[in-house]
Structure 1
Amino acid sequence: MKHIDISQALNNQIPIVDVRSEGEFAKGHIPQAHNIPLMNNEERKLVGIEYRKQGSQSALNLGYKLVGPKFAKIKKKLKDISHDNKLAIHCWRGGKRSEISCQLAEEMQLEVQCIQGGYRSYRRWCRETTQKQRKFYVLSGATGSGKTQLLYLLEQQGLQVLDLEKLAHHKGSVFGGLGNPPQPLQEMFENRLAQKLNTFKNEPIFVENESRMIGKLFIPECIFTQLKSHNVLYIELPREIRQKRIRKEYAHFAKQDIYACAQKLQKRLGGLRLQNIKRSLELGNYDWIDILLDYYDRSYAHHKQKYNQRIVNKFCGDSPRQIYGKIINWLPQIAHS
């Protein structure tokens, strides 16, 4: 059995097996890991109770009694997941569960690597990776300016892009969950964020300006602070273009879903505006978009004043693609900044 650290495990091109319980795995895990629990949720609970009552040896004996009958199935699963007879294994902290699982893998003639420190060391790696200083260029602009499309176009060009909304499965506003899969748990969001950051070189990273929260998830403080202190590229599209973009992006959703989202803004919109939104949806016109644009434009102006970010350039145009061309033409200046 070979012991490796978490950095080696993430760089190796071999399967990673997480032998923690399904409940631990669901809360948070290495994104590319496979879950083969040595003990399931109930078994882990029973062993924990035994440990507190009778001590470690008694808990170990109970653990073997519970999982021993499953060893043959676990070995088969480890063999099936291995690649070229190789895999890496971890539990919470690189303890007994990893040790037993690695022994089972070796009995199947697999070349197994045990990840030192387990998932706990991975979470430490995530925090350290996230806290590194990076050179962000922050795309900022009013709602409907096409910032997400710009990120896509820049990434297609081969530039480094951090799409926080994609990682969060949410577009940021109260309407941001429409059409998106359920959001991950906070821990998984942080894990995926760290691994994305780890792929970047020491070059500019383009990211969209965000509030502290994206849906129910919060941006780690170290990243949020950097976004608010880094270079801003201000994007400006005419209001009528932004209105059309929002119509295309959201108007096809069920009216009751749109209104349910708008209700979350009741205290800020006020009863009259909310009623006007409801009436507009019922009549089938798009006045509700103008009401919401008024609200979000005021909110954006307040946000802009609050953080006073440094705007390094302003790009105006009639479409995100037009603005993308202007940004590409401007890029050579970054090398001299």
Structure 2
Amino acid sequence: MIRTISVNEFFLLPDSIPLADVRTPAEFEHGHIPGAFNLPLFSNEERVLVGTTYKQVGREEAILLGFDLTGSKWSGFIKHALEVAPGKKIAVHCWRGGMRSGAMAWALNLYGFEVYLIEGGYKSFRRFALDQFLQPAALLVLGGRTGSGKTRILHELTSLGEQVIDLEHLAQHQGSSYGTMNKMIQPTQEQFENNLAFQLKDMDGSKRLWVEDESRNIGKLTIPTPLFDQMSNATLIDIHVDLEQRVKTLTLEYGLLDKEFLITCTDRIHKRLGPLQTKQAIAAINEGDMEGFIRIVLVYYDKTYRKDMAKRNAEKVLSIVIESEETAENAKQILNFTNTIPATVQA
């Protein structure tokens, strides 16, 4: 049986039903619905051939070429689908719900699968994803200077029952010149948006949603403008953490990173850091003086943070001093503080 469903209807299906994206590996890599697996009808090169034939010769010739290219592959498609969906229930989509997903749905149905064919394909999901950024959210932004432990506090707030979106995790970047930590690989812009939208869809719009204070860009990625505008106008909880505690935290976090990586990242911000400070920071790295290196670059990052704060509506910046080194205690303190803020200020 083949059932045609909308993207919204797909989200209501049990999580146990896998989603097969039959587009090419290149299309899938560029951006896909979170949780989908790739079951490509054509290789990247084959899709180009079929597309060229469609444009230069015609639809029927392109269909025949498609069957020629996939003729020996069908048993492999079915076997792969069985590995992922042994219960023989599966959802399928291509770019816009056309011939590729239709052909795959037909073959799987013929074998005995219960197939859910997503109307409009990946294109309809992209419309859905972009629409998520337009939805009003009861945002609260957690701010604080570099090394204040904001990300760890957000994770603790999650365990306390709060709604949280970890933008840096989704972007696989910690937001500074050193943000990849020499190991993280950022997704494409499109995939970042897809992953973000996928989380936003499950958030309760009537309850507050915590995000970390971020620049418009997180590494090479950009926060979607409608969401970033909401973040810019939301109430910001500005946590103040002692400088020595921040230095200690960052030294532990960055101290074990490769020296060449740190030097490259430091040199990348030399115009903003200044020639003397850049030279001193690189010298500290080479000497293994991680604390000295951190103190030098914090001057730049603290200055940047002050400038960013000056751009915000002062009435929506609420400060709180954090003294504990225990993340759990800090999260509870912030939550208690936030619960005293009138709803009119949070809005």
TM over 0.5: yes
SS of 2:4's equivalent? strand
Alignment check: 8 A CA contact 1:230 1:309 kept: no
1:29 aligns with 2:36: no
In the alignment, what sits opposite 2:258? 254
* 1:19-39 CA distance string (max 9 Å, x none): 111111110001111111111
Q: Which residue of 1 aligns with 2:301?
A: 296
Q: CA RMSD in A?
A: 1.5
Question: Paired residue for 1:317?
Answer: 322
Residue equivalent to 1:146: 149
Q: What one-letter code is carried by the residue in structure 1 that aligns with 2:88?
A: N
The percentage of aligned residue pairs carrying the same residue is 37
Unaligned runs of 5+ in 1: none
- Check 1:185–1:67 CA distance in 2 against 1; reply closer, same or farther (3 A cut): same
Q: Matches of residues 39-54 of structure 1 in structure 2 within 5 Å?
A: 39-54=42-57
CA contact (8 A) 1:92 1:118 kept: yes
Contact 1:50 1:58 in 2 (8 A): yes
Counterpart for residue 240 of structure 1: 244
TM-score when normalising by structure 1: 0.96
Q: Deviations over 1:275-327 (max 9, x none)?
A: 11121122222221111111011111111112336435322122344432212
CA contact (8 A) 1:79 1:108 kept: no
The AA in structure 2 aligned to 1:269 is L
Which residue number in structure 1 is paired with residue 4 of structure 2? 3
User: C-alpha deviations, 1:72-126, integer Å up to 9, x for none?
Assistant: 1112222222252211100000000111101111111111111000000000000
Aligned residue for 1:199? 202
Counterpart position of 1:18: 21
1:74-89 matches, cutoff 5 A: 74-89=77-92
Query: Contact between 2:182 and 2:261, CA under 8 Å: does it hold in 1?
Result: no
Confirm or deny: 8 A CA contact 1:315 1:326 kept in the other structure: no
- Following superposition, the deviation at residue 335 of structure 1 comes to 7.5
Structure 1 residues 318-327 or 156-165, which shifts more?
A: 318-327
Structure 1 CA distance, aligned partners of 2:314 and 2:232? 6
2:226 to 191, 202, 222: 222
Q: 1:191 to 1:309 in 2, by over 3 A?
A: farther
One-letter code aligned to 1:9:
F
Greater mean deviation of Cα atoms: 27-36 or 173-182: 173-182
More deviation in 218-227 or 52-61? 52-61
Between 1:319-328 and 1:195-204, the stretch displaced more is 319-328
Secondary structure in 2 aligned to 1:298? helix
Letter paired with 2:219 = G
Residue 288 (structure 2) pairs with residue 287 (structure 1): no
AA of the residue aligned to 1:86: K
Task: Determine if contact 1:234/1:311 at 8 Å carries over to the other structure.
Answer: no
Instruction: Look up the equivalent residue of 2:246 and give its one-letter code.
Output: R
Q: Distance in 2 between matches of 1:102 and 1:284?
A: 60
- TM-score of the pair, normalised by structure 2: 0.93
Count of matched residue pairs: 337
CA distance in 2, matches of 1:328, 1:180: 32
Contact 1:230 1:310 in 2 (8 A): no
Q: Kindly state the Cα deviation for residue 269 of structure 1 after the two structures are TM-superposed.
A: 1.3
Alignment of 1:209 with 2:210, yes or no, is no
Helix, strand or coil at the partner of 2:125: helix
The whole-number CA distance in structure 2 between the counterparts of 1:309 and 1:38 is 55
Aligned partners of 2:75, 2:87: CA distance in 1, in Å?
20
Q: Which deviates the most, 317-326 or 223-232?
A: 317-326
SS in 2 for 1:84: coil
Which AA in structure 2 matches 1:112? Answer: V
Compared with structure 1, are the counterparts of its residues 76 and 233 closer, same or farther at alpha carbon in structure 2 (3 Å cutoff)?
A: same
Cα distance between partner residues in 2 of 1:152 and 1:335: 24
| Alpha-carbon contact 2:91-2:116 (below 8 Å) kept | yes
Query: Are residues 216 and 310 of structure 1, via their aligned partners in 2, closer, same or farther at CA, if it must alter by over 3 Å?
Result: farther
- Partner Cα separation in structure 2 for residue 266 and residue 332 of structure 1: 42
Q: Which amino acid aligns with 1:311?
A: K
Shift of 1:334: 5.4
Greater mean alpha carbon deviation, residues 183-192 or residues 318-327? 318-327
Q: Residue 330 of structure 1 aligns to which amino acid in structure 2? A: F
Aligned to 2:117, the other structure's residue is in SS state strand
